[in-house]
């Protein structure tokens, strides 16, 4: 067996996963629901249930018919329009981010957030008074020592792994220079910050979360899943083995996990590793966890004879895999993950809206769809790329002009995209035997964005109409010069090449948290009303992915015909496990096949191919997608 890769535990990372997220969004709108069993439905499936519902037998990915049987008085709400979940996700992200010094706050999917709190923890560890640890104060703001919270630094806050012996406070701090003790103090202080943030999230926003505290994205995410719901877990040192034969807590903790549970090891990689350890093909019927006889733990893989980067390269390598896959996976198996919490951007790098169709083959239909897509795109731009003008600026406006400034002039663009892109995915012609190939590439055309798109005074509908007239139709004709004879299965309209507006400064430590947050709320509020007034788009996230492939069942084509809309932005709607190995399992069909001038901005979607229909499905949706095949229409 190869030596474990070297550890670097210099950072402190906190991972958040909101409890029963979609159900909580409904509860936040209508608190009466909190005491009732609540299920959120997409197609005939429960995508999540609140904890009262779970207590009474409701389960994620349960069939609605089953849910009604086990809990006849369940309140079942439709969760196909993702707008409110997306908005809540963004608001909670901004809320958490407002506490953290620096910009390393990363959203994963809708309901997970990583916070790199290293700087805050180091500052607060420095200020600990070892003579009075029980009455410590956590400083949340370097510039204002009154902002923060009191805490008892003699014990960890909340559960730990391994658990502390009953009734014993977990390890008191003793002055010592060993690196394990230094890490212990940092994690202890972080456990109190994690608790404070969970408390704030609940008090101020009404959401609970399950949280993990450790030194990397990998370990904090896994630690977080130990005590669910509404709790937290800190992974205790030692993180490195002391004496030969002695195991670190990282190894002990990680070893017990099923290999497929490790963030960054997707379904395909897990199956290859299982096959190698078992010496046979594992059963592939269930998507997530292996069937009982097929369970292969991290420990079994890690200790398999000859295991190390070269053998992993042999097992996992192949066309399309990165060259260092063995090293990366060897790191994960040993709890080593050097991927950084990505620096938050004030604005997304691109915004794109797309829809897929059963049949789209006339120019009139294309025009109509483009107007709908352009409208959604402009709405999304207004939500994501504008902000309310600073209040200081407003105060400098003479009193008699202030009333005026309440309307459009108070909203400004944070960033303006320079490029408009139209992409289509033509349906491949039928083969002589009548079958069709699954793969056909997107083709794209880009053009400069006409400046009128930024007119905040004009209605979205008018602008959408104008954009189609002025730009999109001529771009479409260049992509498809023939008047007819084509048949499209996808249209995508995107804005790219973002240029941040002058004066936009990244906020960092010492900012006014309250003000920041009010501003965010106000922007969301202003634009929410306009996007809510549009006819509710119907969207099943897993159908969306499925729908760009054939064959398609009657129901999903109907749904596609109702123009489900989607907003793409890599770390937004797509849950990319762990991120460490995002690109590893990327399916060929999902690679952004671009013939345009802004190549390089490809979406990293960790996905697999459905064995039944060939559709490319993101990992987190695969289980639901498989269920979908089993449900009669």
The residues, any chain, with a CB within 8 Å of residue 140's CB and separated by 6 or more, are 99, 120, 147, 148, 149, 513
Residue for token pair 């456990």: 191
Using CB under 6 A as the binding rule, the residues of this chain from 289 to 318 that contact ligand DCP are: none
Binding ligand DCP by CB under 6 A: which of 11, 14, 19, 39? 19
Q: Taking CB within 5 to 8 Å according to partner kind, which of Mg ion, ligand DCP, none is near residue 25?
A: none
Residue of 347, 445, 327, 419 whose CA lies nearest to 387: 347
The least distance separating Mg ion from the CB of residue 258, rounded to whole angstroms, comes to 17
The least distance separating ligand DCP from the CB of residue 599, rounded to whole angstroms, comes to 31
Query: Residue 22 or residue 114: which is nearer to ligand DCP going by CB?
Result: 22
Confirm or reject binding of residue 255 to ligand DCP (CB under 6 A). Answer: no
Task: Tell me the window of 104-112, 433-441, 442-450, 535-543 that interacts with Mg ion (CB under 5 A).
Answer: 104-112
Beta strands 232-235; 351-356: pairing state? unpaired
Confirm or reject binding of residue 111 to Mg ion (CB under 5 A). Answer: yes
The least distance separating Mg ion from the CB of residue 209, rounded to whole angstroms, comes to 8
Confirm or reject binding of residue 387 to Mg ion (CB under 5 A). Answer: no
Confirm or reject binding of residue 22 to ligand DCP (CB under 6 A). Answer: yes
Binding mask 172-191 for ligand DCP (x = CB under 6 A): --------------------
Binding ligand DCP by CB under 6 A: which of 552, 621, 626, 628? 621
What span, in angstroms and rounded, lies between the C-alpha atoms of 225 and 232?
A: 8
The least distance separating ligand DCP from the CB of residue 541, rounded to whole angstroms, comes to 6
Confirm or reject binding of residue 573 to Mg ion (CB under 5 A). Answer: no
CB-based contact 39:77 (threshold 8 Å): yes
Using CB under 6 A as the binding rule, the residues of this chain from 213 to 232 that contact ligand DCP are: 229
Query: Residue 27 or residue 313: which is nearer to ligand DCP going by CB?
Result: 27
Using CB under 6 A as the binding rule, the residues of this chain from 507 to 546 that contact ligand DCP are: 541
Task: Tell me the window of 127-135, 188-196, 274-282, 615-623 that interacts with ligand DCP (CB under 6 A).
Answer: 615-623
The least distance separating ligand DCP from the CB of residue 245, rounded to whole angstroms, comes to 37
The least distance separating ligand DCP from the CB of residue 42, rounded to whole angstroms, comes to 6
Binding ligand DCP by CB under 6 A: which of 41, 48, 334, 350? 48
Query: Residue 112 or residue 387: which is nearer to ligand DCP going by CB?
Result: 112
Using CB under 6 A as the binding criterion, the count of chain residues that bind ligand DCP stands at 17
Binding ligand DCP by CB under 6 A: which of 12, 13, 14, 20? 20
What span, in angstroms and rounded, lies between the C-alpha atoms of 614 and 550?
A: 8
Confirm or reject binding of residue 239 to ligand DCP (CB under 6 A). Answer: no
What span, in angstroms and rounded, lies between the C-alpha atoms of 575 and 114?
A: 13
What span, in angstroms and rounded, lies between the C-alpha atoms of 174 and 340?
A: 30
End-to-end, the C-alpha distance of the chain in Å comes to: 51
What span, in angstroms and rounded, lies between the C-alpha atoms of 537 and 542?
A: 15
* CA distances, 151 to each of 8, 182, 255, 529 (Å): 28, 19, 33, 41
Confirm or reject binding of residue 608 to ligand DCP (CB under 6 A). Answer: no
Confirm or reject binding of residue 21 to ligand DCP (CB under 6 A). Answer: yes
Using CB under 5 A as the binding criterion, the count of chain residues that bind Mg ion stands at 4
Task: Tell me the window of 106-114, 391-399, 446-454, 500-508 that interacts with Mg ion (CB under 5 A).
Answer: 106-114
Binding ligand DCP by CB under 6 A: which of 18, 26, 287, 567? 18
Query: Residue 491 or residue 624: which is nearer to ligand DCP going by CB?
Result: 624
The residues, any chain, with a CB within 8 Å of residue 564's CB and separated by 6 or more, are 355, 537, 538, 539, 540, 543, 544, 547
The residues, any chain, with a CB within 8 Å of residue 453's CB and separated by 6 or more, are 378, 381, 463, 467
Query: Residue 51 or residue 239: which is nearer to Mg ion going by CB?
Result: 51
Using CB under 5 A as the binding rule, the residues of this chain from 2 to 21 that contact Mg ion are: 17-18, 21
Query: Residue 301 or residue 582: which is nearer to Mg ion going by CB?
Result: 582
| Surface-to-core class of residue 375, CB atoms within 10 Å of its CB (0-12 exposed, 13-18 middle, 19+ buried) | buried
The tokens for 257 are 């996990």
Confirm or reject binding of residue 573 to ligand DCP (CB under 6 A). Answer: no
Confirm or reject binding of residue 27 to Mg ion (CB under 5 A). Answer: no
Residue for token pair 């069939």: 63
Q: How far is residue 503 CA from its own chain's centroid?
A: 29
The least distance separating ligand DCP from the CB of residue 117, rounded to whole angstroms, comes to 21
Q: Which helix (H) or strand (E) holds 332?
A: helix 325-333
Confirm or reject binding of residue 106 to ligand DCP (CB under 6 A). Answer: no
Query: Residue 112 or residue 294: which is nearer to ligand DCP going by CB?
Result: 112
Enumerate the β-bridge partners of residue 421: 446, 494
What span, in angstroms and rounded, lies between the C-alpha atoms of 175 and 186?
A: 13
Please report which residue ranges of 386-512 form alpha helices under DSSP H.
Answer: 391-395, 399-405, 460-467, 473-479
Q: Taking CB within 5 to 8 Å according to partner kind, which of ligand DCP, Mg ion, none is near residue 159?
A: none
Angle at 87 between CA 86 and CA 90, to 5 degrees: 85
Binding mask 109-128 for ligand DCP (x = CB under 6 A): -xx-----------------
What span, in angstroms and rounded, lies between the C-alpha atoms of 572 and 579?
A: 13
Query: Residue 38 or residue 307: which is nearer to ligand DCP going by CB?
Result: 38
The least distance separating Mg ion from the CB of residue 216, rounded to whole angstroms, comes to 18
Enumerate the β-bridge partners of residue 40: 48, 77
Q: Taking CB within 5 to 8 Å according to partner kind, which of ligand DCP, Mg ion, none is near residue 215?
A: none
The least distance separating ligand DCP from the CB of residue 432, rounded to whole angstroms, comes to 38
Task: Tell me the window of 97-105, 253-261, 373-381, 616-624 that interacts with ligand DCP (CB under 6 A).
Answer: 616-624
The tokens for 446 are 């880009």
Residue for token pair 């509404």: 230
Query: Residue 21 or residue 287: which is nearer to Mg ion going by CB?
Result: 21
The residues, any chain, with a CB within 8 Å of residue 42's CB and separated by 6 or more, are 78, 79, 80, 540, 541, 542, 624
DSSP-derived secondary structure for 435-468:
---S----EEEEEEPPGGGG-TTS-HHHHHHHHI
Task: Tell me the window of 127-135, 311-319, 336-344, 617-625 that interacts with ligand DCP (CB under 6 A).
Answer: 617-625
Query: Residue 228 or residue 412: which is nearer to ligand DCP going by CB?
Result: 228
Helix axis angle, 309-316 relative to 325-333, nearest 10°? 120
CB-based contact 525:373 (threshold 8 Å): no
Query: Residue 110 or residue 161: which is nearer to ligand DCP going by CB?
Result: 110
| Residue 167, number of CB atoms within 10 A of its CB | 5
Binding site for Mg ion (CB under 5 A): 17-18, 21, 111
Binding site for ligand DCP (CB under 6 A): 17-22, 42, 47-48, 110-111, 229, 541, 620-621, 623-624
């Amino acid at each position: 067996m190869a030596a474990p890769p070297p550890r670097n535990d210099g950072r402190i990372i906190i991972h958040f996963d909101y409890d029963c997220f979609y159900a909580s969004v409904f509860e936040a709108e209508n608190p009466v629901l909190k005491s009732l069993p609540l299920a959120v439905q997409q197609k005939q499936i429960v995508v999540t249930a609140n904890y009262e519902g779970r207590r009474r037998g409701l389960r994620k990915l349960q069939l609605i018919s089953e849910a009604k049987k086990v809990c006849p008085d369940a309140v079942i709400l439709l969760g196909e329009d993702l707008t409110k979940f997306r908005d809540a996700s963004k608001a909670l992200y901004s809320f958490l981010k407002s506490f953290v010094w620096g910009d390393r706050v990363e959203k994963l999917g809708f309901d997970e957030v990583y916070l790199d709190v290293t700087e805050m923890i180091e500052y607060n560890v420095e200020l600990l008074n070892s003579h009075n640890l029980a009455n410590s104060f956590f400083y949340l703001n370097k510039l204002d020592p009154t902002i923060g919270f009191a805490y008892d630094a003699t014990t960890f806050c909340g559960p730990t792994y391994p658990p502390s012996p009953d009734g014993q406070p977990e390890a008191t701090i003793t002055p010592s220079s060993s690196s394990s003790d230094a890490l212990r103090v940092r994690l202890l202080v972080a456990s109190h910050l994690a608790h404070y943030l969970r408390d704030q999230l609940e008090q101020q926003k009404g959401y609970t979360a399950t949280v993990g505290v450790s030194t990397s994205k990998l370990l904090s995410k896994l630690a977080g899943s130990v005590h669910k719901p509404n709790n937290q877990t800190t992974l205790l040192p030692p993180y490195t083995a002391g004496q030969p034969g002695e195991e670190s807590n990282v190894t002990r903790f990680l070893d017990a996990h099923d290999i497929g549970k490790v963030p960054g090891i997707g379904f395909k990689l897990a199956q290859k590793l299982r096959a190698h350890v078992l010496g046979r093909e594992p059963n592939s019927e269930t998507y997530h966890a292996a069937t009982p006889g097929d369970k292969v733990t991290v420990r079994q893989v890690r200790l398999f004879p000859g295991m190390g980067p070269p053998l992993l390269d042999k097992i996992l390598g192949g066309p399309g895999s990165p060259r260092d896959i063995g090293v990366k996976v060897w790191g994960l198996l040993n709890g080593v993950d050097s991927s950084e919490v990505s620096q938050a951007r004030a604005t997304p790098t691109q915004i794109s809206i797309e829809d897929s169709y059963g049949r789209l083959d006339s120019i009139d239909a294309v025009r109509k769809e483009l107007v709908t897509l352009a409208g959604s795109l402009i709405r999304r731009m207004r939500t994501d790329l504008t902000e309310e003008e600073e209040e200081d600026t407003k105060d400098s406006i003479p009193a008699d002009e202030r009333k005026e400034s309440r309307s459009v002039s108070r909203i400004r663009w944070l960033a303006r995209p320079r490029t408009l892109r139209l992409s289509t995915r033509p349906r491949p012609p039928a083969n002589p035997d009548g079958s069709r190939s699954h793969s056909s590439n997107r083709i794209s055309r880009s053009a400069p964005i006409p400046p009128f798109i930024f007119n905040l005074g004009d209605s979205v509908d008018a602008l959408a109409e104008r954009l189609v007239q002025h730009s999109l139709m001529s771009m479409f004709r260049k992509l498809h010069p023939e008047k007819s004879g084509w048949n499209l299965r996808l249209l995508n309209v995107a804005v790219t090449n973002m240029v941040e507006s002058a004066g936009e400064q990244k906020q960092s430590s010492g900012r006014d948290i309250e003000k920041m947050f009010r501003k965010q709320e106000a922007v969301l509020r202003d634009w929410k009303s306009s996007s809510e007034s549009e006819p509710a788009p119907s969207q099943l996230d897993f159908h969306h992915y499925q729908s760009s492939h054939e064959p398609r069942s009657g129901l999903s084509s109907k749904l596609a015909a109702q123009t489900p809309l989607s907003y793409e932005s890599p770390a937004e709607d797509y849950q990319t496990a762990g991120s460490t190995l995002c690109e590893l399992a990327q399916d060929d069909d999902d690679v952004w096949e671009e013939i345009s001038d802004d190549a390089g901005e490809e979406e990293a979607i960790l996905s697999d191919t459905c064995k039944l229909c060939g559709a490319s499905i993101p990992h987190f949706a695969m289980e639901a997608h498989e269920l979908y095949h089993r449900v009669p229409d």
